[in-house]
Copies of this chain bind each other. A is one copy, B any other.
Amino acid sequence: MPYFDAASAAPLHPVARQALSAALDDGWADPGRLYREGRKARMLLDAAREAAAEAVGCRADELVFTPSGTRAVHTGVAGALAGRRRVGRHLIVSAVEHSSVLHSAEVAEAAGGTVSRVGVDRAGAVDPAGYAAALRADTALAVLQSANHEVGTVQPVAEVAGICRAAGVPLLVDAAQSLGWGPVEGDWSLLAASAHKWGGPAGVGLLAVRKGVRFAAQGPVDERESGRAPGFENIPAVVAAAASLRAVRAEAAREAERLRELTARIRARVPELVPDVEVVGDAGRRLPGIVTFSCLYVDGEALLHELDRAGFSVSSGSSCTSSTLTPSHVLKAMGVLSEGNVRVSLPAGTAEADVERFLAVLPGAVAGVREKLGAPVPAAVVTAEDALVVDALGRRCPIPVIELARVFPGVPVGGTVRVLSDDEAARLDIPAWCEMRGQEYLGEEPAERGTAYLVRRLG
């Protein structure tokens, strides 16, 4: 049963399991104590920190273990902002960061800070010039992911780090998706990561803060982990995290090449096999194991369900699958189609045969969902003075786009269609449909109910 959602959580690496099991015997005591059980625990913790620091490319005393990658980001952003409060309260993030970064930015804003969100191109990459333009005299911190978690696009971290360094602004890199593949290049100041993304256990994040970076940990004082991660150390998990990081790094070069070939195959074949598909993310500068595409006229949740029934576990940035009902902020920032979105993220060791089977199953799964969605009663179509009106009020994604596509053949070239919708996803998907179909998107305007999206037929 192939699991293709490694970007959410990778299955536990065998080395992590072994190390965890061994460390349960020797690493349960309080490493702050002076007796033998405490000294054993301290030795394991110190060794794990040395190993993790080597893999990160920092000094051991610059690295602390946190309970998760999310907590590493929360702590890192809050601590770096507080440490540079005298400089100012301006924060720079990209528009496609992980939610832990964006929610940290919201906290900073609520506390009176200001946030600049640097946009991305259609492939999901930031332009270093965007960071350069966002820098201000009162910028306390900039944050950039090493690679995007939804589409796999690798960010120009080294360039952005150089620009920040020249301006005297620390850069925090969220390396959650890439640390298993290699160290983050460039002159970064802080780095956050998460062990369960590389095959380590849950319950372990990393936060590295370079010497010389002003940092003021927030929240109640606690002496553990240099005062940056309160609470009793989870040493067995930390040991497993460090051991598995070394193990995946040893296999990284070969495995990256293998997975890159498999994802390249998916990138090439899906558009051949499935009509009306958009593969998103950068074709070249991308993580080895992630490939993401969106299928027009498809409800993402229904498609995931079909694929699960066929034995494939994949994820989606579509509005309909996550527990929140807003479309993926990543796809939105990229300006690409969000409906029928599928992220395939291959764990290390994925068999070629499983990828082939996925490619064999996908076309039928998409066709099945489209067939079901094609069935609903057509929306009311009325001719107004100068535009055809599609009333899709109260209908959820992807129905508004399906209705638009249905009436379109009846629109004369040069004529316009006005789609009324109150689904937030339409704001993203109607322009994306226009782009895919070579039609002109004229913009949106408030309607009596919902929003009217205007489309002109070019051919």
* Contact between B230 and A100, CB atoms less than 8 A apart: yes
| Contact partners of A312 in chain B: CB under 8 A | 35
* Contact between A231 and B71, CB atoms less than 8 A apart: yes
Of the candidates B29, B32, B220, the one whose C-beta lies within 8 Å of that of A103 is: B220
How would residues 67 to 102 of chain A score, 1 for a CB under 8 Å from any chain B CB and 0 otherwise? 111110010001000000000000000000001100
* Contact between B231 and A323, CB atoms less than 8 A apart: no
How would residues 1 to 42 of chain A score, 1 for a CB under 8 Å from any chain B CB and 0 otherwise? 101010011011000010011001000111011111110000
* Contact between B24 and A304, CB atoms less than 8 A apart: no
The CA-CA distance from A107 to B312 in the complex, in Å, is: 48
The CA-CA distance from A233 to B9 in the complex, in Å, is: 11
Question: Which chain A residues in 31-65 approach chain B with CB under 8 Å?
Answer: 32-38
| Contact partners of A322 in chain B: CB under 8 A | 32
How would residues 102 to 138 of chain A score, 1 for a CB under 8 Å from any chain B CB and 0 otherwise? 0110110000000000000000000000000000000
Does A145 make an interface contact (CB < 8 A)? no
Least CB distance from A301 to B in Å reads: 7
Does A346 make an interface contact (CB < 8 A)? no
* Contact between B9 and A232, CB atoms less than 8 A apart: yes
Of the candidates B11, B106, B237, the one whose C-beta lies within 8 Å of that of A221 is: B106
Does A196 make an interface contact (CB < 8 A)? yes
* Contact between B36 and A232, CB atoms less than 8 A apart: no
Least CB distance from A307 to B in Å reads: 8
Stretch binding the partner chain, chosen from A200-208, A327-335, A433-441: A200-208
* Contact between A231 and B205, CB atoms less than 8 A apart: yes
Stretch binding the partner chain, chosen from A178-186, A313-321, A424-432: A313-321
Of the candidates B12, B68, B222, the one whose C-beta lies within 8 Å of that of A231 is: B68
4 pairs of A and B residues whose beta carbons are closest in the complex = A68-B231, A67-B67, A203-B234, A35-B313
* Contact between B74 and A220, CB atoms less than 8 A apart: yes
The CA-CA distance from A106 to B232 in the complex, in Å, is: 20
List 23 A–B pairs whose Cβ atoms lie within 8 Å, in order of A's numbering.
A1-B36, A3-B29, A5-B35, A5-B37, A9-B232, A20-B24, A33-B315, A67-B231, A68-B231, A68-B232, A74-B219, A74-B220, A103-B220, A103-B221, A103-B222, A104-B220, A106-B221, A107-B220, A194-B232, A202-B233, A202-B237, A205-B231, A223-B323
Per assembly, the copies of the chain total 2
Does A170 make an interface contact (CB < 8 A)? no
Known: A24-B17, A196-B28, A308-B36. A222 touches B323 (CB 8 A): no
The CA-CA distance from A313 to B234 in the complex, in Å, is: 20
Does A235 make an interface contact (CB < 8 A)? yes
The CA-CA distance from A230 to B230 in the complex, in Å, is: 14
Question: Which of A20, A21, A28, A314 has the most chain B CB within a 10 Å cutoff?
Answer: A28
* Contact between A34 and B71, CB atoms less than 8 A apart: no
| Contact partners of A17 in chain B: CB under 8 A | 24
* Contact between A34 and B106, CB atoms less than 8 A apart: no
Least CB distance from A315 to B in Å reads: 7
Does A305 make an interface contact (CB < 8 A)? yes
| Contact partners of A68 in chain B: CB under 8 A | 67, 230-232, 234
* Contact between A12 and B33, CB atoms less than 8 A apart: no
* Contact between A71 and B12, CB atoms less than 8 A apart: no
Does A383 make an interface contact (CB < 8 A)? no
| Contact partners of A99 in chain B: CB under 8 A | 222
| Contact partners of A236 in chain B: CB under 8 A | 201-202
Closest B residue to A72 by CB, please name it. B231
Known: A17-B24, A196-B28. A219 touches B12 (CB 8 A): no
* Contact between B106 and A220, CB atoms less than 8 A apart: yes
| Contact partners of A308 in chain B: CB under 8 A | 34-36
